[in-house]
Each structure stands twice: as C-alpha cells, then as structure tokens.
Structure 1
Amino acid sequence: MIEAAMLWNEPNNKSHWDPEIDPDWSMFAETMTIAAQAIRAENANIPRVLGGISPIDPFFIQRMQNYGLLDHIDVVAVHGFPLDWNLWQIKEWPDKIDEMRAVTDKPIWVTEVGVSSFGAEEVQAWGVNRTAELLVGKVDRIQWYSLFDLPQAWGATTRHKEAEGSSYYRHFYMGLIREDGTPKPSLEAFAQHTPDMGLCQWFHFEDPRLDEGVAWMKRLGVKYLRTGLSWADSYRPDALRWFDRQMEALADFDVTVTFCFTPEHRGISPHHTSPPQVKEEFAEFCASMIARYGSNRVSEAAE
C-alpha cells in the first residue's frame, strides 16, 4: 500500500524540526540516514523521499549531501505556497525546480503545493489552474494541499499561532472542500488536472473524514496521495487498529507515507519537533510500518 516513504516533513521549518536543539541539522541527517537504511533493509522496492523542504532552499539540500544523507535518498521533495507564505511569485515555480536540479540529480517531487481561500475562493481556483500550467510535465509528482479545510477546532501544526496574524489563519482554508463538507470552486478546477495532479491530505488519528475523503478522491480521479503515519500516534492506545483502517481505506491509491512527529516522551525536549533521544527508535518505527504496509511491486519512482 505504501508506494514511497517520506522521511519527516519540512525539516528546515521550525514548525517541524527544532533548530535550537539541532542548529546545523547534523542530528537530523544522522537520524534520517539510519531510518533510510532501515527502510531499504526492509523493502528495497520502496523509494525513500527526503521530507519536503519549506522554504525551497538549495543550500539545505547541499548540506544534506555533505552529511551523506542523500546517498540514502531516492527522491528530493519541495513544498511551495507562493500566494500565501512564500516570498516569491507563483510564476517562479519553474525557476524554483531548476534551482533544485542545479544541486542534485535526484528526481524532484512537489509533495505540497496550495493556495488558500482565505482571501477569495476565486483566487484559489485560479491558483489550481496556474499551478497545473506551471508544473505538470516538469516534475513527476504534484500533490495539492489539501482536499479538506482544516477544522477550526483542531488547530494547525505550527509554532507560529496567532502571532503571525493572517498567516496562521490561512492554514484553515487550504482545502478544496469547506469544513461543512461543501465543495469550493477550486474542486471543479482540480478535477480537470487529475491524475497528473494528486493530493496531500493529512488524516488525524481516528479522523472522521477518512471514508468521505476516499470517496471524494475516487470521484475526482486521484491516483497519487500523500499522507502520514505519526510516530507519536504509535504510542496511543489501539494505534495499530487505526493505522490498519487508514491504510486499508487508502489501498486503491499510490500512497507516499510521511513518517514524522517525535513522541514527547522520546524527544530530547518534550515536543513533536524534537530530535529523538535514541535515533534508532525512529528507524525501528519506519521499518515496522514498511513491513506492515509496504508494497512488493517496484515503484515507478524506484526504476
């Protein structure tokens, strides 16, 4: 069921990896190297994807190459939100991909790209079409973030919170479907670009939207999906029951699974962004998930 394994999410963003504990990312590189080796030992058919970087920073990729991590990585991923958070214009997407290709010969995937409807839903619909125009055919994976708006009661996984003003609230308006379940104009625009464009949809632990999400994705003709299995969630009661249900529901899609989020009691600091106390524990989690859900077929990305 797992087509590709992504190691962490946005490691160069302080909302996902703590730069105060690991200012030069050496701990990150070592942790992910061990995990990548464990995944390869468990299933050599599954490509290993470096967690999508945000911001897009070629120097970060060079740093990971210097640490030797890229020797154990098959795909490099990037995330971009030029109409909401990035300090560049949407028309620069091809240039951003070229900047990455200048520093690595690995395939480049865009595993999160999106436009919020915070300002206007029409802008989001335009953003879907413009993104497809700029990226389809330039990279092998384009995954729109996201299918559903984030429910207001859940809170966004970010350190910034309300201190960032509207930047925080944009997190809640990234979906093609509103919180009340009704489609936005962008949903119809997105449907014109499948299966070339896939989706990134995070399903929270025991997420009540799972079955509805699967139905929508099949209706839209989605082939490629990116989601996550949380290391932190693996310590919850009945975690494997939920993981089994999630992965069984997603069996008809080519799924890139992101492994991330440090359990508070296993981090150097008690936070999901912390490097782990024992790096091998994260690797063991990744390998166990690959053993349980990994595909036996050779992925197109691994060929």
Structure 2
Amino acid sequence: MKKNKKFSRDYAPLAATFCLAVASASVLAAADDLNPFGVGSSAEASGLYGAWMPKVAAAGAAWVRIFPEWNEIEPSLGTWNWTRMDSILNTAASNHLNVSGLFLYNARWLNPNPHTFPTNDYPQWSAYVSNVVRHAAGRVRYWEVWNEPESFAAGGTPAEYARLVAAADEAAKAADPNAQIGLSVASVDVLYLERTIEAGAADHFDFICVHPYELLGTVSSGQEAEFLSIVPTIRKMLAGKDPARINVPVWFTEMGEELRGPVTPTAQAGDLVKAYTMALAQGVSRIEWFEAQEGGYAMGLLDRSGAPSPSYAALKNLAVELGSRPRYLGWLSLNGSDGCGFVFQGVTTSVMVSWASPNKAADITFGTPVKILNPLDGSVLNQPKLRLSTVPALVSGLPLPMVRQAESNRDQPFPWGCTYATASSVSVVLGNPNLEYGLHQLNPDSTSTPARINGVPARACGKSAGVAFTVDPNFLSYTHAPIIISAAVRRMSAASHPGFNLKYESAAGRKGIGWNSVPGDDQWHTLTWNISDDEFVGSWGYNFTFDSDSTNYSQYYLRQVTVTKLAPSGSVQK
C-alpha cells in the first residue's frame, strides 16, 4: 500500500511516473490497437477486477473499460492516491489486457456532487488530467472524457462539456504526446455531439464513444438497418460540423442488454453476437460489452458468483472464429430478405455470421459441406445446408461466389426489405403481422395488440402509454427534408377519450407537437402533421412516438402510419 503524500500539484508525480512507465509490463501492444473485442465494468463490480479480468481475457477480450474516479485518485487538493489505479493497470497487464481510460466526474473538494462539471475551477481539472495521464503514460493511451455527460453532469451543457474536452485534450497531450481523447455521450446522442463540437470541441478529440443500448434493443424486432446506421449517421454529422475529424474512430464503450421479459440468457447471447457483428460491419473500432461481471444490472458475461453466462460463451466463440483482427468483407441478403449474413475474413478462412429475420426461417444451400457453429453452445455441424433462425450461426468456409457477392455489397446500404433511398414515402400497415414498407413500429407486440375492425387489420394501442416508430435510415437520416406524418386512427369505444402527443427528433432536440384527440365518432380518421425541422438519427432507438401519457388515453386503434417527403433529403440547409 502506497502512502499518500502532498507534493507540488504539477511536478511531484513525474519521477515516480516515468519509473513506472519504464518498468511496467503493460505497455500498450500495437497489435491490440486492431483488436476490437472488449468489456466494461460497472462501479458496483469494479472491485472484482482481479477475479473477472483473467476470465474475460480467456474469452478473447483485449480491452477493459474500468478506471478510478477523480475523487479517489485525488481525495483532497494535492494529495494523490495511485494505489487502486496502479493495481488495475498491473492486473490488466498481467492478463494481457489494455485499459480504456476515463476522466471521471468532479472532485468532492470542488463540489459535493461529483456528477457536475468543474465549471468553478477548470485549471484544477486540467491539472488532474495532466497528472493522471503522466502517471499512466505507456500504459494507457486512450482516454474518454467523462461518462454520458447528459446523464452524469447535473445541469451541464454541451458548451461546458466542450470546454472540459478542450482542456483535457491540451493537458493530456502535453503530459503524453501519444494520448488520444474521446468524446462521450449517452446512447447515440448525435445532437449532443453536434452541439459539443459547435461549442468548442472541434479538433479537440481523436475518437467518439457512444452507448447504443436502446438501438441494440431494436434488433430483436428486425431493425438491423437502424443499428447499422450508427456510424454513417455520426460521419454525416462530422462532415458538416468538423470535417477534419470525419474519419475518427467510433467506439462502443458501453453496450448491453438487461435480462428481463423476452430477453432470456439465450436471447441476450444471440443479441451480443449480432451487436458485435454489426458494429464491426459498420467500422466500429472498439466494442466493450457492459458488463464483465454482474453488478446489479442483469447484463454480466459472468454472474455474481463469477460463473460464465451464455453471453460469455457467445463472445468467446465469436472471437475465436473471427480472430483478433477481423476484416469485414461485406453483407448478404439470404433467401430474399428472410435472413442476413455478414462476411469476414477470419483466422484461416471466410466466416459468415448469419441469422433470420423475426418470424422468418431461411433455408440456405451452400452446395458443399461447410462448418456451422452455434456460438451460444459451441456445437458444430458439417453439412451443405442450413436452416436459419433468429439464433445466429457462424458459417466457415463459404463458397467463393458467396464471398464475392458479399464483397460487391459491402459499400451498398444495407436493405430493409428493399432499398428506400429514393422513395418519396415509407409506411407501415398495422395488423398481425405488420406490413412494413420502410417504416417500423418498435416492439409492436409489447406496445399494442393485433385487432380486426369490420375485417380491416389494425392494432389496439391500449397496451402501453405510447407507440414508437423508426424510418429506414436510407430514406431519411440526419440530413433532413420537410415531411408529412399521417396516421389512420379510430376510438376503441365511445366512452373513451383517447389522444396523444406526436413527439419527434428535431434539429433542436426531441420536440412535441401538442395534444391530438382521436375524433369521437365510430369512424376511421386520418391525422396529419407537417414537420420542417426533423433530424431523424435514432438517438434513443426511434424517430417519433405517439405518446398518450398513460394507458387511460391510449384506447384507440391504429391502422396505418406514413411518412412522406415534401422535398429530397438534404434540400433544407441545417
């Protein structure tokens, strides 16, 4: 245990730091920069790192996201406690793991609430960053500034975050010229990133960190195209707001799925494989599953006792098959649009990660025996055909024509049934099942019930307080056009008084149009809304909702929803 001592705030740690950097065995391996597989830890389970680090390393992870907070490292002004930080870094190094660093929260001696930006003393923030980076030089290269500032900086603004980022960038690179600085946001909050860059963070970051929990939750309802639009949408934003940074790496520094309801351990494991696969397919540089060991969020690769979950096995099998440097080749539509496949160059041969769309089954014939691995349980078949289900399968040794087709598709937008890039409108006809033409209802069976009204298919919306929708990102994403949203609605009974507020993603954030009552007669009615400031990016997994506040006001039927462009995308200047 090191003894804490007070030294000069700017220079005291230098000698000890350089000795540690030279002596440490945890120098970042250049090869690991290309390894995308990682995991993160909650604060609740972070103290167990000595137990879970060897296990996640055995599963193929090369990166771990875990770091002490500022208040622990500097518990009082000028008093430095490196004990836990060094222990984490040394334990990671002994397990051949690299640490993703974080500059976390405020010091309590500056503000009793650590979840606030240190706006009252930015120089102290810079000194903290400088000393931490100097102490970790040679052992940590990548630093994420804060964690989800929208959620963990009470009242903090993008402008304040931008100043924090710029200060961290200057201090970190003065302490270690190899340091790289990352922006952080909750979910895929493109608007917050946009405002942060506009407010002064431009050219002060080297990578971007997002946490696509909500978007991962849409994959089970067939919204692969939305998940695959995360990086392209970020790059569209960067092209307009910070062109010099358009190609910076994008990291998923948190991503996970809670075990509850339809998300069983098996379903979670399957979604982990899909998420890592589609992240790699869109060029994500680092993917860190939340979390390594269960800390109370029902997301752990390891349970509270340290026993592996099906998701642990899934990650291990995927990492083994794709190798530490997977190279994406392209995608395939399988059996029409009943299934999809993402093809990689694995360790020794091509590997296709494939699955069927919801409520579909795809029969795939290869013409020659191939290796088919179930990543959830490790079982292997060698046969010339495969019946796809929603459980992903890893197919090794694809016939060359399939590989070539995947390569030719690589730079084409992933289709959502068909390509809607040039369509003037998208729609969904609700029923059992919904008929979707470029417009998805999010989790329809969780929020509504199939119905038939005088023989007309529809959905009763009284099951939840709101229904949410997502447009095909090839139709409309970030670069906006004036649109009309229309909905065919009908009251469920004369006694009910249903209605909703249309809330949508706008250039100014999430916006509500106001209350819309469903007319009272026993007829279908079409409600329409003209919108000119849309900015559909799917930050929280959807683009617009019909929000009834409670099920008391959601007692209506919904027959069809349509989004129509009044001008080509991008025709309105931002």
- TM normalised by structure 2 equals 0.33
Q: CA deviation at 1:245?
A: 0.6
Cα distance change, pair 143–280 in 1 and its aligned pair in 2 (3 A): same
What per-residue deviation string (whole Å, max 9, x for no partner) do you get for residues 85-144 of structure 1?
x59727546322321234232222214523257486224541232122222325222221
CA deviations 1:206-265 (Å, max 9, x no partner) are 642333334557634311332233312546867247523125546422332235232xxx
**Which shows bigger deviation, 118-127 or 251-260?**
118-127
Mapped partners of 1:82, 1:210: distance in 2: 23
Q: Distance in 2 between matches of 1:185 and 1:285?
A: 33
Q: 2:35 aligns with which of 30, 46, 61?
A: 46
Aligned to 2:143: 142
2:91 to 90, 99, 103: 103
Matched residue, 1:212: 195
Match of 2:255 in 1: 260
Q: What residue number does 1:284 align with?
A: 274
The 2-side partners of 1:45 and 1:182 are apart by 33
Quick check: 1:232 aligned with 2:210?
A: no
The letter for the 2-side match of 1:122 is: N
Superposed, 1:88-99 pairs within 5 Å as: 89=75, 91-92=79-80, 94-99=82-87
> Which residue identity does 2:171 align to in structure 1?
H
Matched, 1:59 2:23: no
The answer to whether structure 1 residue 82 and structure 2 residue 49 are counterparts is no
- Paired amino acid for 2:64: V
* 1:189 paired to 2:167: yes
Cα 1:209/1:124, change in 2 over 3 Å: same
Residue 153 (structure 2) aligned to one of 146, 168, 172: 172
| Deviations, residues 157-185 of structure 1 (Å, cap 9, x unaligned) | xxxxxxxxxxxxxx23495xx25x46786
C-alpha distance 222-99 of structure 1, shift in aligned 2 (>3 A): same
Q: Higher helix share goes to which structure?
A: 1
Contact kept, 8 Å, 2:115 with 2:154, in 1: the verdict is yes
Instruction: For 2:155 and 2:98, locate their aligned partners in 1 and report how far apart those are by CA, in whole Å.
Output: 26
Q: Deviations over 1:31-88 (max 9, x none)?
A: xxxxxxxxxxxxx9433222145368463342342xx3212111222133233xx597
Which structure is higher in strand share? 2
Q: 1:259 and 1:127, CA in 2 relative to 1: closer, same or farther beyond 3 A?
A: closer
- State the match for 2:129 in structure 1: 131
Displacement, 1:198?
1.2
Please say if residues 126 and 167 of structure 2, whose CA atoms lie closer than 8 Å, have aligned partners that are also in contact.
yes
Over the residues paired in the alignment, what is the CA RMSD in angstroms?
A: 4.0
2: CA distance, partners of 1:52 / 1:121:
28
**Does the CA contact (< 8 Å) of 2:102 and 2:143 recur in 1?**
yes
Structure 2 CA distance for partners of 1:50 and 1:96, relative to 1, 3 Å: same
Query: How has the CA–CA distance of structure 1 residues 94 and 283 changed in structure 2, closer, same or farther, with 3 Å as cutoff?
Result: same
Report matched runs for 1:1-80 at 5 Å: 45-54=34-43, 57=46, 59-65=48-54, 68-71=55-58, 72-80=60-68
Highest RCO, 1 vs 2 (Cα 8 Å, sep ≥ 6) = 1
Query: Using the alignment, how far apart are the partners of 2:56 and 2:276 within structure 1?
Result: 16
User: Counterpart of 1:208 in 2: which secondary structure?
Assistant: helix
Q: Distance in 2 between matches of 1:281 and 1:290?
A: 14
Q: Which amino acid aligns with 1:268?
A: L
Tell me the secondary structure at the aligned position of residue 69 of structure 1. helix
Q: Indicate conservation of the 8 Å contact 2:166/2:201, yes or no.
A: no
Q: Which residue of 2 aligns with 1:113?
A: 104
Secondary structure at the counterpart of residue 225 of structure 1 = strand
Q: Distance in 2 between matches of 1:140 and 1:206?
A: 25
Give, in whole Å, the separation in 1 of the partners of 2:283 and 2:200.
Answer: 20
Instruction: Tell me how far 1:287 sits from its aligned partner.
Output: 0.8
Work out the number of aligned pairs and report it. 222
Residue 294 of structure 1: how far off its partner (Å): 4.2
Give the distance between the partners of 2:182 and 2:253, measured in 1 at CA. Answer: 13
Q: 1:270 to 1:60 in 2, by over 3 A?
A: farther
Q: Contact conserved, 2:99 with 2:140, CA < 8 A, in 1?
A: yes
| Aligned residues with identical type, % of pairs | 7
The CA distance in 1 between the partners of 2:236 and 2:269, in whole Å, is 29
Secondary structure (helix, strand or coil) at the match of 1:130 reads: helix
TM-score normalised by L of structure 1: 0.56
Q: Secondary structure at the match of 1:97?
A: helix
Q: Structure 1 174/211 Cα, relative in aligned 2: closer, same or farther at 3 Å?
A: same
How far 1:286 sits from its partner (Å)? Answer: 1.4
Contact 1:52 1:111 in 2 (8 A): no
